[in-house]
């Protein structure tokens, strides 16, 4: 019985928490001025289903492809560069490692909106602006790398040191022990952190907006912003756009989530 009371509470919490998400979908389905009505309607009086129209008119396929490219690129760089660092920071305890960890955190202080001017200026100097999507990938990777390192580090903390030491005794090199013992055992944590980083990059906006001029190369967030410019009347359309944008990730996420959540919460060896 207690279990079901808990379940009921859990559903209530999730319900409250996800209300904004629900509101996004409902607003997307409302027509015209119904969104301004008070009292608000919790279910649209007339369903206004404009997914296809928005998709085609705004060429969302192109936008989403670009978002995907940017998110995948940034995640790849972050995983390649950050995993080893997280491992080293988890294993070695010294003043130098403290300094390194400290420096890593410091690098991600400022919001993108304040970092963009220097990034623009320096990227322009080295000619990176010729490859705008690459430029965004590089900048975004730098933004999320510290987060990845800090989170991944906890995953490596959970890998028992003895296992690695045993591997070293068996004649493995440090590098071998890292790739054959530490990484496989921490893979859940690595996977989950990568997913988080991927999701954040998928929603990247400020860098893309400033570094990518050409419409055909812009990601979905920039498309959304230009769609909801200062004189937006089509709020329902904006919400539809957002829904189209969020739903695929949500579906993938729900499908993968058992693995994600167990990866995060189950101890590495269970």
207-226 residues in contact with other proteins (CB under 8 A) are 209-210, 213-215, 221, 224-226
- Sole binder of other proteins in the list 18, 56, 166, 216 (CB under 8 A): 18
Residue (22 or 49) nearer to other proteins, CB: 22
Burial of 180 (0-12, 13-18, 19+ CB in 10 A): middle
Residue (52 or 265) nearer to other proteins, CB: 265
> Cα separation of 15 and 105, whole Å?
34
Is 129:116 a contact under the CB 8 Å cutoff? no
Rg, C-alpha atoms of the chain: 22
Measuring CA to CA, which residue among 98, 212, 92, 105 is closest to residue 150?
A: 105
Of all helices (H) and strands (E), which one includes residue 199? helix 187-202
Q: Which stretch binds other proteins (CB under 8 A): 47-55, 68-76, 179-187, 197-205?
A: 197-205
- Sole binder of other proteins in the list 68, 112, 131, 180 (CB under 8 A): 112
Q: Is the peptide bond before 100 cis (omega within 30 degrees of 0)?
A: no
- State the number of binding residues for other proteins (CB under 8 A): 125
- Sole binder of other proteins in the list 6, 56, 166, 216 (CB under 8 A): 6
- Sole binder of other proteins in the list 46, 109, 169, 170 (CB under 8 A): 109
- Sole binder of other proteins in the list 60, 89, 186, 217 (CB under 8 A): 89
Is 194:75 a contact under the CB 8 Å cutoff? yes
Scanning residues 46 to 65, which ones bind other proteins (CB under 8 A)?
Answer: none
Q: Which stretch binds other proteins (CB under 8 A): 4-12, 47-55, 68-76, 179-187?
A: 4-12
Q: Coil, strand or helix: which one is 2? A: helix
Q: Smallest gap, in angstroms, from Cβ of residue 188 to other proteins?
A: 10
> Cα separation of 79 and 261, whole Å?
19
Q: Does 238 bind other proteins (CB under 8 A)?
A: yes
Sign of the dihedral defined by the CA atoms of residues 165, 167, 172, 177, in that order? negative
Q: Does 103 bind other proteins (CB under 8 A)?
A: yes
Q: Smallest gap, in angstroms, from Cβ of residue 220 to other proteins?
A: 8
- Work out the number of other CB atoms within 10 angstroms of the CB of residue 185: 19
Scanning residues 122 to 181, which ones bind other proteins (CB under 8 A)?
Answer: 122, 124, 129, 138-139, 141-143, 145-147, 149-151, 154, 157-158, 160-161, 173-176, 178
């Amino acid at each position: 019985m207690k279990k079901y009371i808990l379940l009921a509470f859990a559903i209530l919490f999730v319900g409250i928490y996800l209300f904004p998400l629900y509101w996004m979908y409902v607003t997307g389905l409302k027509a015209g001025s119904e969104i301004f009505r008070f009292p608000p309607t919790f279910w649209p009086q007339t369903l206004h289903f404009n997914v296809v129209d928005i998709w085609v008119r705004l060429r969302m396929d192109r936008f989403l492809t670009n978002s995907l490219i940017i998110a995948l690129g940034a995640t790849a760089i972050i995983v390649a560069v950050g995993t080893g660092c997280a491992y080293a920071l988890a294993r070695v305890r010294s003043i130098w490692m403290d300094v390194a960890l400290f420096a890593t955190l410091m690098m991600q202080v400022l919001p993108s909106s304040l970092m963009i001017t220097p990034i623009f200026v320096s990227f322009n100097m080295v000619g990176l602006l010729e490859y705008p999507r690459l430029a965004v990938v590089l900048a975004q990777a730098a933004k999320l790398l510290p987060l990845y390192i800090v989170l991944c580090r906890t995953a490596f903390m959970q890998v028992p040191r003895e296992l690695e030491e045993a591997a070293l005794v068996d004649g493995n090199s440090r590098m071998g022990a890292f790739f054959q013992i530490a990484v496989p055992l921490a893979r859940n944590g690595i996977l989950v952190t990568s997913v988080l980083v991927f999701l954040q990059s998928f929603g990247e906006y400020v860098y893309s907006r400033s570094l990518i001029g050409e419409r055909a190369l812009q990601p979905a967030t920039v498309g959304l912003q230009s769609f909801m410019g200062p004189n937006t009347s089509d709020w329902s359309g904006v919400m539809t756009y957002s829904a189209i944008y969020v739903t695929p990730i949500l579906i993938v996420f729900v499908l993968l989530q058992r693995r994600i959540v167990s990866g995060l919460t189950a101890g590495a060896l269970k």
